[in-house]
Amino acid sequence: MGRNFQRRVEDFVCEVCGLAVQGTGYTNHCPRCLWSKHVDVHPGDRAASCGGLMQPIGVETRRGRYVLVHRCTRCGLVRRNRVAANDDFEALLRVARGEPTWPR
């Protein structure tokens, strides 16, 4: 984690699929549909004023790990985030194929 990282344990309801997500302090996207929300300038700071939904647009690998690529539907910001162990692997495959993750 970068030195600007702030761990925040927060639960949330996904604004795309409605899943009640239990946060771990590292959770930044919904594990079912993989969508996120543009709320941070630096991870965990909640300083972004945009608030747009972050669409999963790609999957990459870095150092042998999967990384999810999101683009904000409001401002266009692109961010990369580690895939979590509880993320829906079928949804990751859909993102990699360029297919929508929700609705299924």
pLDDT per residue over 10-58, tens digit each?
899 999 999 999 999 888 899 999 999 999 998 888 899 999 999 999 9
Extents of the domains making up the chain: 12-96
CA distance 49 to 42: 12
CB 55 within 8 A of CB 62: no
20 contact partners, CB below 8 Å, separation of at least 6: 11, 13
What phi and psi values does residue 43 have, to the nearest 5 degrees?
Answer: -50, 120
pTM of the model: 0.90
